[in-house]
Amino acid sequence: MLLKLELFSILFNHLFMLVGILIFGWSVTELMLFYWIEPLVSMLMKGYFKVYIPLRIQQNKALRRYLWRWLGLLFIVIILQIIALYGIIQYNAQCTKPMVWSWDWLILLLFLPIMYAMPIYAQKQQGFMPILENMPIQTKILLSPIQMISTYIILAISLIGLFLTKIIWVWLIFMIIGKMTIELLLFRNIKRKIKA
């Protein structure tokens, strides 16, 4: 039952993006910024699970092993974030319908990191040390390196396509279906590991 709810949440997340475009009038830029913020949230959570928790429980060996990898990955993510943000800003400047900061969109954007932090908070409130193995599948998907890499690839392909063709709907559908497909494949792989 819980796995079905998590599968539904993955589908709902991406359908909500489509609803945001169709009903709330979000622009392509706003959708790209949602996907742009995911790797930042992922890196913060990776830092929490792989750096902060070992530091907190004094697992110095695990911390030293992961700290340099995490810092290197953080450096790469920051570079990719800057490049992606530059592309998004350049695309927005050329748009016939540029992004206008709306309150509903900003509130939702701020809600995204809070939503991913809720399972951590819930475990702490129950008196448990939050560990990755006890997190929901959605959190495990967010922390997957495949998810992070695919987000940048989807953003890059979409930006190139938007600059070259200006066929907005094709690239909107590509972004939503591409992200949803990657997450569903990761869901299937993580579900298999849980059952094994």
Average pLDDT, rounded, for the chain: 83
Q: How confident is the model at residue 184 (pLDDT cuts 50, 70, 90)?
A: very high
118: tokens are 């809720």
Give per-residue pLDDT as tens, 4-30.
778 888 888 888 888 888 887 777 888
Extract long-range pairs of 51-58: CB within 8 Å, 24+ residues apart: 53/129, 53/130, 53/131, 56/129, 57/129
Number of structural domains the chain divides into: 1
Average pLDDT over residues 54-73: 76
Q: How confident is the model at residue 166 (pLDDT cuts 50, 70, 90)?
A: confident
Cα separation, 11 vs 181, whole angstroms: 10
Average pLDDT over residues 159-173: 85
pTM for this predicted structure: 0.82
Give per-residue pLDDT as tens, 113-148.
888 888 888 888 888 878 878 888 888 888 888 998
181 lies in some domain:
yes
On whether the CB atoms of residues 179 and 35 are closer than 8 A, the answer is yes
196 lies in some domain:
no
Closest CA to 81 of 36, 44, 112, 114: 36
pLDDT at 81 over 80: yes
88 lies in some domain:
yes
Q: How confident is the model at residue 1 (pLDDT cuts 50, 70, 90)?
A: low
149 lies in some domain:
yes
What is the structure's pLDDT at 133? 80
126 lies in some domain:
yes
Q: Where are the alpha helices (DSSP H) in 126-167?
A: 137-142, 145-165
118 lies in some domain:
yes
Structural domain including 80 reads 2-97+104-191
